[in-house]
Structure 1
Amino acid sequence: MRVKTALLGVASLAFASQAMAQSTTRGEDGNLNILFWQAVSILNPYLSGGTKDVEASALVLEPLARYDENATLIPWLAEEIPSLENGGVAEDLTSITWTLKEGIVWADGSPVTANDVVFTWQYCTAEGMGCAQEGKFEGVTNVEAVDDRTVRITFGAPTPFPWVAFVGGQSPIIQAAQFADCLGAAAAQCTEANTKPIGTGPFQVTEFLPNDVISFEANPNYRDPAKPAFATVTFKGGGDAAAAARAVLETGEFDYGWNLLLAPDVLASMEAAGQGQIVSAFGTNVERIEVNLTNPSPDLPEGERSTVAHPHPFLTIPEVREALSLAIDRQTLVDVGYGETGRPTCNLVPAPEIYKSDDAECAAAYDPERAMQLLEQAGFTDTDGDGVRENADGLRLSMLYQTSTNRVRQDFQALIKEWWEEIGFEVELRNVDAAVYFGGDPASPDTIEKFYADVEMYANTFEGTDPTSYLAAYTCDKIPSPENNWQGQNMNRVCDPAYEEMLAQFQGTADQEERSRLAKALNSYLTIENHIIIGLVDRGRVSAHSNTLGGVRLNTWDAELWNIADWHRLDN
């Protein structure tokens, strides 16, 4: 059966360059100052699920293809996007063949070959690796070099949407020579490679201070001799969103501020200073609460906390999870934290429309009375009058609720704590510095992967328009654990054969109507039906840049810094 590429969400195979007035000499615009209030911990997306680490890595590491700001799939290191029409996608949908652009070299001047692509797959899938982006290679059975510039990816079953592996900022190509001794459990120990990767991007690292600042310089071997316009980049981390916004919009100290998680009236007052401008767009970014299905109790031995060997004592009860969801007034959260840049949601996948579940009823539901009824049905009552429910065995509904340190998130925590305590929970709040929380350090007890809390809150997104790898994150083999260095995307520890069977059907069908139905069913399983993930707000991405910075094209479908090679200084 012939499947048209456009049907699968790839709107165009050509990249129409945007005309812009910019420098024609590499490095003539001097230094670019970027501020991320979530400091960068590592420059290897395969060892971190943190968006801030993926973003910083995008200056150096690049994929075969990526999505532009219009959600159009475009070739990057590849010559073209493989399709059925050009022969790059097999008729039986069991393989896809990519061809590298001619003459691509690493920053050290050595050639990029198909063997580097093959090695990248071997690196992420190596035993004991615990790859943070393993979902990108779901269903891949082999990656082979046909010749120096051609690589074939083979799937175990027909794969209607094969443009996932090596596509987008989360799945870049790494240099085989640099990472050769970093396979499996050794990956986390390769400090030099993980903090100073040799890439093909417009910049290379000169100095890396984890959780603080990164210094970049223009890649002398970048394929476009006129780019990048900036000779150096100072990539500062730390502080908070308010300080980042102020440094761009009010003082002009920085050229770009990322992820400005602030109340809309605060941002508007800063923008009025006239130094910079806010840019925003909706995509697939959902602020949500993740429910831990395993027991995080510190009473358990280290290495057994938050592992599948110890189910959670009450969050494995469906009625308890539903009660938590019903007790949240999502519209109030939007009003407090986001204004016009937020929308109430219960979904994990809020876009594109063909994959979005109808969550209107759930998103509008704020019913604490019904929540209390559910807790009664589950056997939890407040028998001693202290405001906290317990069951007949004396098990109290007591939870630790963690998130990153940020004003909006702490406002959310305070509201949700109050709502949950009104229905009979005891809630302790904890906030963790974002650089640590999203850092992926297996030695830290405070990462989102280790999940030493009952519930945790954050937001992330998936690249492009197809949620295949995003939904594939919730399988048994992607649970973070001591065996995989606490890496993996399945924070909740979901392990259900029924979900995985439905996922396999989704991955294997070429019919768009059926794909839409199955994606919605997978989303609903995790959210609306089972409340394993409690969606809160469909967040528009909000950043800001100086009025003197040109070339910025805010992208919600890929790395936000995807086109930094095109950024340039505008004439005053």
Structure 2
Amino acid sequence: MKKLSALMGATALVACGTAAIADGHEGERGRDGQLNIIYWQAPSTLNPYLSGGTKEVESASLVLESLGRFDNTGALQPWLAAEIPTVENGGVSEDLTSITWTLKEGIMWSDGSALTAADAVFTWEYCTAEGGGCAQVSYFDGVESVEAVDDLTIKITFDAPKPFPYTALVGSESPIIQAAQFAECMGAAAPTCVDANFGPIGTGPFVVDDFKANDVIQFSANENFRTAGQPAFSTVLFKGGGDAAAAARSVLETGEFDYAWNLQIDPTVLADMESAGLGTVVTGFGTSVERLHLNQFNPDAALGDDRSTAAAGAHPFLTDPIVGEALSRAIDRELLVEIGYGAGGKATCNVLPAPAVYASTANDACLTQDIALANQLLDDAGHMDTDGDGIREYNGTPMNVLYQTSTNAVRQDSQALIKQWWSEIGVGAELRNIDASVFFGGDPSSPDTFQKFYADIEMYTNNFAGVDPEAYMANWKCDDIPSPESQWQGANIQRFCDPAYDALVDQLATTAGIEARAEIVKQQNDMLMQSYSIIPLVHRGGVSAHANTLGGIEISDWDSELWNIATWYRMGE
């Protein structure tokens, strides 16, 4: 589930006003008839505070809105707010302990009553009420108070300086709910308010007409929506159930639906469906990266319980950046994308590929496979095959690796290709795949978890929550290395450790302003990449499909995919 945490402190990623979502297609509200959407996982509620599921959050986003939303580039757009508060415009306090939002004037709930700052205060109280079981309570972490300064002004105060204060009431998972409707739904009463949870009153482009849990939702255009001529559709049929392949067919082959979500199927099958000519496959990229982790500790089984720990000492050859660079340059990332991901992947050389303001270009040479260069790097460093068995030696140690990942057809195909490319540079690879439930499990007694890392190299995908990378980049601090003392918990999987990197983590935590933060984040990414303790392979995206008659689609992996549904429209056939 995407967790949108925070973004910016300056104007580089801030869009102003509603111009950022205008599509230029004007006309009467509801002019384009019905829109048919299918999410093969059916929503069970329309209250995102009572579910962390993507299907619930996204279906609710047609109705409920927040102060700011993240667009398809990851930029924070003002939504219910008139502008994004920053230190520069006075909306964020100089000491970073408060943020003050101003609502746009004249916004009404769909029942015709006025949206006020009191609704924002209530939303905070609702989610943090004792016994409420709010699924999105983390968005209010560090919030000391939410105050209605006046009807249009909301002041959020934090219990400590917060360089990125764009969490509470920001993004599709933290919308404002109507105080009048949910007044009797506080705390333990929250799940009992079935009418409110299944039919929330909102400020968004649509209203709920009928909700059948785990089945179908009927929406109609909100006649009190603030933008003239929006939404273009008079009604929305939101169908749940089935599977990804059936959902894809319903858009790409039969034309029964206009939009299908989360099409996790073979890219060649998806391409065959798309060739029917009725629809288009679209991808929203966030921060997910399929990568190789190169163990910086020695995983030799002969070391017993010390293997892959600091007590084992350094890996015999994978701590050498020249070796890592050779392994990286031998890989054809574009081919990995073609056979395993299709439209859902892009070759990448960064562990942090997005948002764009944070993406480094210093490592882009890896995008071009170069077997000759990889061999030259190892030759020049003196790592030769002295016994003619096809495997180079590194200070007498044969350069053979145990390369593991989870059991998955795409991953096994990638492993086979990478093994072949490495054989061409004199590096041997034994391939191993482990059931995903075990590999990604947390059993400290299992020898097969990715955290325990009893192998030389392992491959999987990871990402970070939201669009602010501060916490994610802190994963590679020295003290976050998994160990027996931590029950093998910790995010620094490859056991990278550099005091200079730790210093950058500390510096980022106290730095405000997008440009200054981006500079530090790029330094962190480049330090990791140039250590070659991580070799990024594929920037993975979420895949959906829409009818060719549907216009205005700007799929976002940072927010609800339906974030700009108010501007969708039907094109002429």
Q: TM-score range by the shorter chain?
A: 0.5 to 0.7
d(CA) in 2 for partners of 1:482, 1:63: 43
CA distance, structure 2, for counterparts of residue 481 and residue 118 of structure 1 = 40
Aligned residues of 1:293 and 1:316 also touching (Cα < 8 A): no
Q: Name 1:147's counterpart in structure 2.
A: 148
CA shift for structure 1 position 59: 5.1
Note the 1:520-535 alignment, pairs <5 A: 520-532=522-534, 534-535=535-536
1:503 aligns with 2:508: no
Counterpart-to-counterpart distance in 2, 1:180 and 1:236? 31
Aligned match for 1:234, one of 224, 235, 239: 239
The answer as to whether partners of 1:22 and 1:568 remain within 8 angstroms in 2 is no
1:64 aligns with 2:67: yes
The CA deviation at 1:345 is: 2.0
391-400 or 504-513: which moved more? 391-400
Q: Which residue among 94, 109, 121 is the counterpart of 1:114?
A: 121
Deviations 1:264-322 (A, max 9, x none): 876665434221234457x5545322639799x9x9xxxx9x99999999699634866
Question: Does the CA-based 8 Å contact 2:511-2:517 persist in structure 1?
Answer: yes
**Aligned equivalents of 2:213 and 2:186: distance in 1?**
18
- The offset of 1:87, in angstroms, is 3.1
Matches within 5 A, 1:433-512: 455-458=458-461, 460=463, 467-468=469-470, 470-471=472-473, 498-510=500-512
Q: 2:429 aligned to 425, 439, 451, which one?
A: 425
CA distance in 2, matches of 1:425, 1:49: 40
Give the conservation status (yes or no) of the 8 Å contact 1:248–1:257: yes
SS at match of 2:16: coil
Report the counterpart of residue 186 of structure 1 in structure 2. Answer: none
Cα distance, 1:554 vs. partner? 2.8
Matching residue of 2:351: 348
Q: Deviations over 1:236-283 (max 9, x none)?
A: 46345xx654442222243223455778876665434221234457x5
What does 1:122-271 align with in structure 2 at a 5 Å threshold? 141-147=142-148, 150-154=154-158, 156-157=160-161, 159=163, 161-169=164-172, 180=187, 200=202, 202=206, 206=211, 215-218=216-219, 224=225, 229-236=234-241, 238-240=243-245, 244-258=247-261, 270-271=273-274
Equivalent residues in 2 for 1:244-323 (5 A)? 244-258=247-261, 270-279=273-282, 284-289=286-291, 291=293, 318-319=319-320
Please, which of 360, 364, 368 is the counterpart of residue 364 of structure 1? 368
In structure 1, what is the Cα distance between the partners aligned to 2:123 and 2:489?
23
**Is contact 2:288-2:464 (8 Å) kept?**
yes
Q: Does the CA contact (< 8 Å) of 1:271 and 1:277 recur in 2?
A: yes
More displaced 10-residue stretch of structure 1: 455-464 or 85-94: 455-464
Cross-structure match for 2:5: none
Count of matched residue pairs: 523
Which residues in structure 2 correspond to 1:26-41 (within 5 Å)?
29=34, 31-35=36-40
Question: How far 1:521 sits from its partner (Å)?
Answer: 1.2
Q: AA paired with 1:114? A: V
Give distance in 2, aligned partners of 1:524 and 1:191: 50
After superposition, the Cα gap between the structure-2 partners of 1:565 and 1:376, relative to the gap in structure 1 and judged at 3 Å, is farther
For residue 554 of structure 2, give the secondary structure of its aligned residue in structure 1.
Answer: coil
Which digits, 9 at most, give the CA deviation of each residue in 1:59-106, with x for residues without a partner? 576443113346553223445422346532223444312345665589
Gaps of 5+ in 2: 1-7
Query: Matches of 2:91 and 2:491 in 1, distance apart?
Result: 30
Q: Which secondary structure state, in structure 1, belongs to the residue aligned with residue 560 of structure 2? A: coil
Cα distance in 1, alignment partners of residues 572 and 311 from structure 2: 61
Secondary structure at 1:33's aligned position in 2?
strand
Quick one: which amino acid aligns to residue 144 of structure 1?
S
Contact 1:403 1:457 in 2 (8 A): no
Give the match's secondary structure for 1:528: helix
Structure 1 residue 341 displacement after superposition: 7.9
1:18 aligns with 2:19: no
Change (3 A) 1:509 1:237: farther
> d(CA) in 2 for partners of 1:571 and 1:197?
34
Unmatched 5+ stretches in structure 1: 184-189
1:75 aligns with 2:75: no
Give yes or no for contact 1:33–1:233 (8 Å, CA) kept in 2: yes
Q: Which amino acid aligns with 1:96?
A: I
Tell me the SS of whatever aligns to 1:98. Answer: strand
C-alpha deviation, 1:545, in angstroms: 0.6
2:476–2:496 Cα contact (<8 Å) kept: yes
SS of the equivalent of 1:525 reads helix
User: Which shows bigger deviation, 452-461 or 386-395?
Assistant: 386-395
Letter matched to residue 67 of structure 1: F
Residues 571 and 515 (structure 1), Cα distance of their counterparts in 2 relative to 1, 3 Å cut: closer
CA contact (8 A) 1:22 1:569 kept: no
Letter in structure 1 aligned against 2:510: G
Q: Does 1:332 pair with 2:335?
A: yes
Partner Cα distance (1:73, 1:308) in 2: 41
Name the structure 2 match of 1:89.
Answer: 92
Rounded Cα–Cα distance in structure 2 between residues aligned with 1:547 and 1:557: 24
**Is this contact kept in 1: 2:10–2:86, CA < 8 A?**
no
2:545 alignment counterpart: 544
- Distance in 2 (CA, whole Å) between partners of 1:479 and 1:42 is 39
Give the partner amino acid of 1:531: S
Displacement after TM superposition at 1:346 (Å): 1.6
What are the Cα deviations for residues 392-450 of structure 1, in whole angstroms up to 9, with x where unaligned?
99999434312666x5x554344235446772332223575xxx899x9999x99xx98
Contact 2:288 2:540 in 1 (8 A): yes
Question: Which amino acid is 1:97 matched to?
Answer: T
CA contact (8 A) 1:404 1:437 kept: no
Aligned identity (percent) is 36
Q: State the partner residue of 2:414.
A: 412
Alignment-derived partner of residue 564 in structure 2: 563
8 Å contact kept, 1:216–1:232: yes
Task: Tell me the SS of whatever aligns to 2:119.
Answer: coil
Q: Which amino acid aligns with 1:12?
A: C
What are the Cα deviations for residues 458-509 of structure 1, in whole angstroms up to 9, with x where unaligned? 3657755x64455356669999999999999877787877545312322433
Partner residue, 1:553: 554
Task: Describe the SS at the equivalent of 1:113.
Answer: helix
Larger Rg: 2
Deviation at 1:359? 0.8
- Counterpart in the other structure of 1:187: none
- Normalised by the size of structure 1, how large is the TM-score? 0.65
Q: 1:428 to 1:28 in 2, by over 3 A?
A: same
Instruction: Report the secondary structure of 1:146's partner residue.
Output: strand
Mean Cα deviation higher: 143-152 or 365-374: 365-374
For 2:23, give the aligned amino acid.
Q
Of the structure 1 ranges 73-82 and 331-340, higher mean CA displacement relative to structure 2 is found in 331-340
Could you say what secondary structure the match of 1:218 adopts? strand
- The answer to whether residue 382 in structure 2 is matched with residue 400 in structure 1 is no
Q: CA deviation at 1:364?
A: 3.4
Structure 1 residue 234: deviation in Å? 0.9
Query: Is 1:9–2:16 an aligned residue pair?
Result: no
Give the superposed CA RMSD. Answer: 6.3
TM-score where L is the length of structure 2: 0.65
Q: CA contact under 8 A between 2:38 and 2:247: conserved in structure 1?
A: no
